[in-house]
Structure 1
Amino acid sequence: MDLLPFDEYVRSLNRKRMSAGVLLRDDDRSVLLIQPSYKPHWDIPGGAADAEEAPWTTAARELHEELGIVRALGPPLVIDHIPSDPRMPEGIAFIFDGGPIEQADVDALNLTDPEILSVDLVPIEQVATKVKPSLARRLSVAVSMAATGGLALCEDGEHTA
């Protein structure tokens, strides 16, 4: 068996996109969703990781950039493998526990990021009407993990074990 030279081997390695988001929720199992200006579906605070950026750093940075919130994040709740589609390569999505948020806190947010049109606390049972199906599945798992203190591994939003 012939081995590739190391530099050639490194160039041949698969590259995955990575994103990280934050689950903020109230006591009634509602989750904070943001309405982005650049896509039709709502989302959670978060986004794509920059080069050389750890996912937890991405989540905290995006939470601050999008909503002006600075807080220590809790543990990861979900790690999700997202299969490729015709437009995007496969990826890994993280959801971190952002802890509780009250309606008064949401009402007090000063939205200055032009990418964010609005925010809303949405009951988990209604999330699927606003977000992509894979994110709805991922958020349902994340809410369960936040309640139990676990970490879920998912494939396209489906809890694998």
Structure 2
Amino acid sequence: MDLLPFDDYVRSLNRKRMSAGVLYRDQNDRVLIVEPSYKERWDIPGGACEKDEPPWKTAVREVLEELGIDQPLGQLIIIDYIPADDRMPEGLAFIFDGGLISDEDVAQLNITDPEIVSARLMTLDDAAPKLKPILARRVAAALDAARSAKLVTCEDGRPVAG
């Protein structure tokens, strides 16, 4: 068996895109979703990891940029493998628990990022049609994970057994 020289091997490794988001919810299990200015579907606070940026730093940076929230993250509750599609390569999405947020907290958010039009607390049933289907599944899994305080691994937004 012929082995590649190490540098050639490293260049051949697959690169995956990564994103990180934060699940905020209220006492009634409504979730905070944001309306972006640059795409049709809504999202949770968060975004794409930049080069050499770990997901936990992405989540903190994005939430501060988008909503003006500057607080420590809760635990990691979701790791989701996202298969490639026609437009995007495969990737990994991470969701951290942001804890509880109230209507009053949402009303006081400092939304200065031009990428965000609005933010709302919504039931999962009301939010799901506004989200991409994979994100709706991921958010449902994240809500369950936050309730149980356990990390859930997913594939295409669906929890993976084992």
Which residue in the other structure is 2:98 paired with? 98
For 1:11, give the aligned amino acid. Answer: R
2:11 is paired with a residue whose SS is: helix
* Structure 1: gaps of 5 or more residues: none
Distance 2:86 2:42 in 1: 21
How many residues were matched structurally?
Answer: 161
Mapped to 2, the partners of 1:17 and 1:110 lie a distance apart of 29
Distance 2:102 2:17 in 1: 32
CA distance in structure 2 between the partners assigned to 1:124 and 1:26 by the alignment: 12
Q: Deviations over 1:98-131 (max 9, x none)?
A: 0110000100112110000011001122221110
SS of 1:86's equivalent in the other structure is coil
Specify the code of the residue in structure 1 equivalent to 2:96: F
What is aligned with 1:27?
Answer: 27
Give the stretch that moved more between structures: 82-91 or 125-134. 125-134
SS in 2 for 1:32: strand
Q: Which amino acid aligns with 2:120?
A: D
Secondary structure at 1:63 match in 2: helix
In the alignment, structure 2 segments of 5+ residues that lack a partner are none
Q: Partner of 1:7 in structure 2?
A: 7
The CA deviation string for residues 46-99 of structure 1, in whole angstroms up to 9 with x for no partner, is: 000011111111001100000000111111111000000111100000000001
Moved over 4 A (4+): none
User: How well do the aligned residues superpose, as a CA RMSD in angstroms?
Assistant: 0.6
| TM-score scaled by length of structure 2 | 0.98
Amino acid at match of 2:122: V
- What does 1:103-142 align with in structure 2 at a 5 Å threshold? 103-142=103-142
Work out the CA distance in 1 between the residues paired with 2:147 and 2:109: 25
Q: Structure 1 residues 117-126 or 34-43, which shifts more?
A: 117-126
Which whole-Å CA distance do the structure 2 matches of 1:50 and 1:129 have between them? 28
Task: Name the structure 2 match of 1:43.
Answer: 43
> SS in structure 1 opposite 2:125?
helix
SS at match of 2:65: helix
SS of equivalent to 1:88: coil
